[in-house]
C-alpha cells in the first residue's frame, strides 16, 4: 500500500505516479516548476485559454524542459499557481486523455506526458503551499484511491489544495480491499475522500463502506466520493452515508471544509 502522511511543513519533492499499464478507454477521464527567482512579471497577462492549454499539452508530449518553460512563463506573467493548476495543468491532462481516446496519441506518450505534468506539481509544491493558509486548521483528511489504482495526477492535485487550506492529509493507494478497509481505522479522520477512476471496484467499495461506516471511531466522519467516475456515472456512486464530489479541486475543498466545520458546531 502506498500511503503518505502530509503535514503542513512537509513537502514531497520526488514522488512520481504513473498510469496503470492496462486501463479501459471507456472509463478513462481526468477530472510546476521550482520557485521562481528573479523572473519578470508583466503588467498585462493573457488568460489561460484553450490555445494556451494546447501549448502546454504539446510541451508535455515533447519534454520536461518544454513543460517547465510554459509553466514558468505563465507564473512570471502573474498567474496564480491555483489558476495554473486548475486552468492549465488540469485541463492539459484532460486534453491529453481525450487525444488518447481518439487515437491521436498512443498510450505510452500519453502516460509520459501525464507524468511530466504530475512532476511539475511536486516541483511547485513548496511555493503553492507557502501561498496558502498560514496556520493548520486542525482537520485531518484521508484521501484514498480505489484499490490498485495509479491515476495519481488528479488525486495529488486535490491533496495539494487541501493542504493549501490548512488540512493535514493522508494520501493512500491501497493494493486490495483488505488494506482499503484497514486504512479507515488507522487514524482519526474528520473526512474521507475516495477517488474512483474506473468501475472495476464499485461494488466491492460500496460493500466495504456498508461494513466499515457503522464501526468507525469517529461517528461523525464525512465520506465523499469523486474522481473520474463522478463525471462518467454519478448515479453509480450514490452510496448510503456518502456525498458526491464532481467539481474542481478548490470547490471540493470548500464543500468538505464547510461541511465538517458545520458538523463540529452542532451539539
| Predicted pLDDT at 30 | 33
Distance in angstroms (rounded) separating the CA atoms of residues 59 and 202: 35
Question: CA 216 to CA 231: how far, in whole Å?
Answer: 28
Mean of the pLDDT values across residues 231-239?
91
Give the mean pLDDT of 46-66. 93
pLDDT tens-digit readout, 91-128: 999 999 899 989 999 999 999 999 999 999 999 999 99
Residue-range domain boundaries for the chain: 24-130, 140-265
Residues 63-88 as b/e (b if ≥16 CB within 10 A, e otherwise) read ebeebbebbbbbbebebebbbbbbbb
Confidence category of residue 26, pLDDT binned at 50, 70, 90 = very low
Q: Indicate the SS3 state at residue 22.
A: coil
Cα–Cα dist 70/53, whole Å: 10
Q: pTM for the whole thing?
A: 0.80
* 171-214 tens-digit pLDDT: 999 999 999 999 988 888 999 999 998 899 999 999 999 998 88
DSSP conformation class of 38: S
Q: What is the pLDDT of residue 10?
A: 38
Regarding the domain delimited by 24-130, which CATH topology (the fold level of the hierarchy) does it fall under? 1.10.1240
Pick the CATH number of 140-265 from 2.170.150.20, 3.40.50.280, 3.20.20.70, 3.40.50.2300: 3.40.50.280
Amino acid at each position: 500500500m502506498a500511503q503518505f502522511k502530509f503535514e503542513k511543513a512537509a513537502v514531497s519533492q520526488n514522488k512520481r505516479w504513473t498510469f496503470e499499464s492496462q486501463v479501459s478507454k471507456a472509463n478513462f477521464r481526468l477530472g510546476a516548476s521550482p520557485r521562481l527567482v528573479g523572473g519578470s512579471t508583466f503588467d498585462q497577462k493573457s488568460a489561460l485559454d484553450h490555445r494556451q492549454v494546447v501549448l502546454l499539452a504539446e510541451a508535455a508530449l515533447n519534454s520536461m524542459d518544454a513543460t517547465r518553460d510554459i509553466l514558468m512563463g505563465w507564473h512570471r506573467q502573474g498567474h496564480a499557481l491555483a489558476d495554473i493548476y486548475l486552468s492549465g495543468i488540469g485541463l492539459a491532462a484532460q486534453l491529453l486523455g481525450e487525444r488518447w481516446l481518439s487515437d491521436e496519441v498512443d498510450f505510452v506518450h500519453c502516460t509520459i506526458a501525464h507524468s511530466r505534468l504530475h512532476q511539475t506539481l511536486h516541483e511547485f509544491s513548496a511555493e503553492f503551499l507557502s501561498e496558502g493558509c498560514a496556520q493548520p486548521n486542525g482537520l485531518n483528511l484521508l484521501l484514498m484511491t480505489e484499490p490498485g489504482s495509479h491515476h495519481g495526477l488528479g488525486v495529488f492535485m486535490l491533496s495539494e489544495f487541501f493542504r493549501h487550506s490548512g488540512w493535514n492529509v493522508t494520501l493512500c493507494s491501497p493494493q486490495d480491499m483488505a488494506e482499503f478497509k484497514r486504512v479507515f481505522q488507522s487514524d482519526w479522520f474528520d473526512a474521507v475522500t475516495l477517488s474512483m477512476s474506473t468501475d472495476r471496484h464499485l461494488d466491492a467499495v460500496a460493500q466495504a463502506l456498508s461494513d466499515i461506516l457503522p464501526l468507525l471511531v469517529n461517528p461523525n466522519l464525512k465520506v465523499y466520493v469523486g474522481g473520474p467516475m463522478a463525471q462518467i456515472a454519478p448515479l453509480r456512486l450514490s452510496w448510503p452515508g456518502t456525498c458526491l464530489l464532481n467539481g474542481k479541486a478548490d470547490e471540493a475543498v470548500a464543500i468538505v471544509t464547510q461541511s465538517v466545520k458545520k458538523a463540529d458546531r452542532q451539539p
